[in-house]
Chain A
Amino acid sequence: MRERQDNRLPEGGRIDRTKPLHFSFDGSAFTGYAGDTLASALLAGGVRLTARSFKYHRPRGVMTAGSEEPNMLVRADGRPNLRATEIPLHDGLVATSQNRWPNRRFDVGAIMGLLSPFIGAGFYYKTFMAPAGAWPFYERFIRRAAGLGRAPDGRDAGRFSHRHAHSDVLVVGAGPAGLAAALAAARTGARTVICDERALPGGGLNWLTARIDGSLAADWAGAAAVELAPLTGTTAFAVHDGNLVLMEQRLGPADRCLWKLRARTIVLASGAVERPIVFPGNDRPGIMLASAVRTYVRQYAVRPGRRAVIVTNNDSGYDAIVDLAAAGIETAAVVELQPACSAAPRAKAAGIPLHEGARIEATSGRQSLTGITVAAGGRIACDLVCMAGGWTPSLQLYAQRRGRLRFDSILGAHVPEDAHAPMLVAGAAAGHLTLAECLVGGWAAGRAAAEQCGFAASQDKAFDVDSAELAGRDGSARLPGAFLLQARQRSFVDFQGDVTAKDIALAHGEGFSAIEHLKRYTTAGMGTDQGKTGNINALALAAELSGVPAAEIGHTTFRPPVSPVSFGAIAGEAAGPLIAPTRRTPFYGASSRARAVFVNSDLWVYPRYFPLQGESMRDAVRREVETTRSAAGMCDMSSLGKVDVQGADALAFIERVYCNNLGKLKPGKVRYSLMLREDGIVLDDGTVTCLAENHYLLTLTTAHSGRVWLHLEKLRQVHWPELDVKLASVTDHWASLALAGPCARKILAALGPDFDLDNEAFPVLSMREGEVAGLPARVFRVSFSGELGFEINVPAGFASALWQRLSEAGRPLGLAPYGLEALDVMRIEKGHVVIGSEIDGRTTPGDLGLERMVSQTKDFVGRALLARPALQAEGRHQFVGLKPRDGASPIPVGSQITAAPWTGAPQEAQGHLTASVFSPALGQPIALAMIADGRKRLSETVWTASPIAEKSIEVEIVPPQFYDPDGSRMRA
């Protein structure tokens, strides 16, 4: 019966047996306890085959007890590729195995194992090329075979947040070294944060048999945790410039918090990961890391097998003997790779057969280990192998900060080297493997870290450690490559990628011996386990094949993340609607009440049109245009950038910035002006108003206002600091409403302005300041629409009041609001150039027909490079208008301009459309375009070509000013 826990030890473990938890795996029901991981609970339930490998679909079981797990990936609670060793068990957990069909015990994919001689590393580069163009066919199968889990089905249910913090000291890892370091630092008064990727702090202290200062190791850890309040289930996965540490904290099954912590100093106490041993057949369910077996036994009270063989190349393998015995597991043999080992007496004392200088030839057991065969030792029946292949310090964070590594040939792995290390490293991460070293070294590191932050050094601490562990250092012995290669069974190096010793030899033979080439060609180290158990073994084998010491072969670059991080956590709360700020003008409320349909324009949300009941956009826009041209319309112009310029050199400043002359601009006058980039291309257009002597107001286009503001400030502060001028960005200070149409003056008059509105008193391109509708106002007589127009600016807080009063005053005369669409139609009819369409970052004033604005008498930004030959050459695309020859055919937007209609054959384009609308004023479609030598070709016939719309329209090139070309309506 599934719910029994056949392999749960009757007592012990850091689990809470008073809290049974029910979960399911591949549809079967199981029970575990609070404190279990999914892996430990399944082991307790006697489940050995838990996964199928990526390429060959080999039966696999769990190999480790931590984040280095390569095999046991599951889909749990809707998320794929989770390591069962890292999932804290919770009630109602639903998990399934991955990458198998129909189920993990009988997987059709296992046929790939038969093909294995042909599908080694890089095989896909050597085939699938014929017949030509057939790759997409093969690719479909490859893609289906690839991938581990299945993508989640829909939106993720987790809640994601970000947290920002500062600390004096950050300790990464809450094992013995980390806890000691954090205690040392915290007790000096330094603000100390300590984190650990596991749910239970303490690291090895939770499964080692030892006493620290009289307490059981686990209890000592517990007490330290109470004092330090570590962040548990929290993986520090990256360190950036300025010691910005990123950590992913798992808050319950679904929720994640991403920490961004600036630490003044970092102590890296992230421990070391035990290496598997590379031998033929080393991947069956039941073959695990020795430290993992000890963890399951001591921390989770689980018996992972009945009869074990220890396969080891260093002393620490022998530490497992006691733990196996304590769990009632028979140790059938110790298989020692070294010719002689100092710890051998331990095996002898326990009465366990010892095979020294051993060579493992094979293992047996299809879905679960049944035995291991040692040369000159025969087959040993067993269902559990404890691999102790040496220790690899976890130095990813250290290496991310470009800390230098040194390959320690005895340890068989990289250790920190630097005198000028980017962070302090303590404990097993520094290559110190005994408990005493970890505690003492950790304490010293924590002290040093606090000292670096200016906190008085605390006392040195002596730890009274009572432990029988050997914690072996020498982890370099391996089976020779030649031996592995001639064995029948495969020796796995990277378990998740199904990368074998043979693959590495293959890659090497083909010239992929540089360590990065090796990684990419074989994919070793590129799995979700980041090569934590496989990289060193791959490196060592590569070194052996190259005939160089492992220390010389280098290593692949350490890049973030140390362990995979949830995208949801990375996005945090600023996902979805908060992905970017939403900017609204002061008239947003009024526009909404007027039933505007809004549109996104960069970060702005802007009224697009104001439909009456049941009106389509087309009808609404047409009505808005007709109303504005026949009566009056009002349009929100608030998003335009506005810059206030003051100072004795204000005029000098703007003269340098704009290409047109501004010297004669008197107070109360407005001029349409053009700003060029340093290289002569048009940057922005807008108005310059002289408010008073030495006081100007500039308007910038909405889309470019941020960029132009930076440009202006850069000129002022960086390049011309000698000028006496100050700028202020006042975009958000003013709400701006354009009132345009033949009735505009009448309506404005009804608002009781305190200045004369007469055409002589208030001519076009001038500005008046005073009171309008009882509100302080600046009124600019400018017109984008081409009608008689007034742009009324009031302080932003008065926006709603202005809108309301203007609406009331205008209602009897038919005043209606209009939005961006209608505005665009009218500007097209008037032939005004705009950012994005004609001003596209490639056009000059000459291209736009504005060459007369370019001053010949002053120097200004862009003048010199505007004179570059290609910018003045014949054949440049020039701004013109287009009318369909038949007076009726709409011209598809985005059309190119060609000499002949498009028939499907490639053609040269002579230009392109920049806008196309139906003109209510002319009663026909019109368009604007940039055409080679356009201004010399007026009344010529060309074609617009839109392969997308499958339409070519015969058009006539005309001046772009379609409506009121002499501007009389505007000047009325």
Chain B
Amino acid sequence: MLLIPCPWCGERDESEFTYGGSAERAMPALDGKAGMRDWHAFVHVRDNPRGQHCEYWHHSHGCERWLIVERDTLTHGIAEVHDAALSSDDRA
């Protein structure tokens, strides 16, 4: 069972978290400029890599922060975990 190192709470068992899907694409801004194509790409299209994957986990039974986790989808090894809100500058 996954052990996710929450930056706020430490290493916690997967049962404390809720998965939130791929973090590989940024949501289009709600400024009226993004159209159907951009949103379709964001909502539907996926890399779904067999290997390093960037994904969201919510620490539901802990600090309730959304985290960005870099995890290998084959070995389940976790490389990095960031608080999503605090690391927003680094992502496209």
Contacts and interface: CB of A to CB of B under 8 A. Distances in A.
Interface in B1-35: 1-3, 13, 18, 20, 23, 26-28, 30-32, 34-35
A678 B43 contact: yes
Contact of B30 (A241, A244, A860, A867): A860
Specify which of A402, A859, A867, A868 lies most central, judged by the most chain B CB atoms within 10 Å of its CB.
A859
Contact of B2 (A242, A402, A721): A242
A242 B68 CA distance: 19
A719 B36 contact: no
A241 B65 contact: no
Contact of A718 (B42, B43, B66): B66
Contacts of B75: 402
B64 interface: yes
Nearest to A869: B36
B61 to A, nearest CB: 12
A865 B39 contact: yes
Interface residues of A, number: 27
A676 B27 CA distance: 15
Which of B26, B27, B60, B65 has the most A CB atoms < 10 Å from its CB?
Answer: B27
A679 B3 contact: no
A938 to B, nearest CB: 32
A713 B40 CA distance: 22
Interface residues of B, number: 35
Nearest to A677: B43
B38 interface: yes
Contacts of B60: 710
Contact of A861 (B30, B56, B58, B68): B30
A241 B2 contact: yes
Interface in B26-82: 26-28, 30-32, 34-36, 38-40, 42-44, 56, 58, 60, 64-66, 68, 75-76
B33 to A, nearest CB: 8
Contacts of B34: 864
A241 B76 CA distance: 8
A930 to B, nearest CB: 24
Nearest to B32: A859
A162 interface: no
Given A678-B43, A859-B31, A714 B2 contact: no
A859 B38 CA distance: 14
B35 A718 contact: no
A867 B66 CA distance: 30
Contact of A864 (B2, B39, B88): B39
A716 to B, nearest CB: 8
Nearest to B65: A717
Nearest to A402: B75
A951 interface: no
A718 B56 CA distance: 9
Contacts of A719: 26-27
* Residue of A710, A718, A858, A859 ringed by the most chain B CB atoms within 10 A: A718
A714 B20 contact: yes
A622 interface: no
A262 to B, nearest CB: 8
Contact of B3 (A242, A402, A678, A716): A242
Given A242-B2, A859-B32, A860-B30, A714 B58 contact: yes
Contact of A713 (B35, B44, B58): B58
B1 A242 contact: yes
Interface in A205-247: 240-242, 244
A242 B18 CA distance: 18
B92 interface: no
Contacts of B84: 717-718, 721
Interface string A842-862: 000000000000000011110
A262 B65 CA distance: 25
Contacts of A861: 30
Contact of B85 (A242, A402, A717, A868): A717
Interface string A691-733: 0000000000000000000100110111101100000000000
B35 A710 contact: no
B32 A678 contact: no
Given A678-B43, A717-B65, A859-B30, A868 B36 contact: yes
A244 B44 CA distance: 35
Nearest to A721: B85
A244 B39 contact: no
A601 to B, nearest CB: 21
A865 B36 contact: yes
A863 B43 CA distance: 13
B1 A240 contact: yes
Contacts of A714: 20, 56, 58, 66
B85 A718 contact: yes
Nearest to A244: B1
B27 A867 contact: no
A717 B23 CA distance: 13
Contacts of B88: 718, 721-722
A959 B34 CA distance: 36
B2 to A, nearest CB: 5
A713 B66 contact: yes
Contact of B20 (A262, A710, A716, A865): A710
A825 to B, nearest CB: 35
Nearest to B21: A714
Contacts of B1: 240-242, 244
Contacts of A865: 36, 39-40, 43
A656 B29 CA distance: 10
B75 to A, nearest CB: 8
Of A710, A717, A860, A865, which is in contact with the most chain B CB atoms at under 10 Å from its CB?
A717
A869 B36 CA distance: 10
Contacts of B85: 716-718, 721
Contacts of B38: 864
A867 B40 CA distance: 11
B66 A717 contact: yes
Interface string A430-458: 00000000000000000000000000000
Interface in A666-706: 678-679
A864 B35 contact: yes
Contacts of B40: 865
Nearest to A718: B84
Interface of B: 1-3, 13, 18, 20, 23, 26-28, 30-32, 34-36, 38-40, 42-44, 56, 58, 60, 64-66, 68, 75-76, 84-86, 88
Given A241-B76, A714-B56, A718-B88, 16 more contacts: A242-B2, A244-B1, A244-B13, A678-B39, A679-B44, A710-B60, A713-B64, A713-B66, A714-B66, A717-B85, A718-B66, A721-B88, A863-B30, A864-B35, A864-B36, A867-B36
7 contacts: A244-B3, A679-B43, A710-B60, A714-B66, A718-B68, A861-B30, A864-B39
- 9 tightest Cβ-Cβ pairs between the two chains A and B: A242-B3, A721-B85, A864-B39, A859-B30, A717-B85, A719-B27, A717-B66, A718-B84, A859-B32
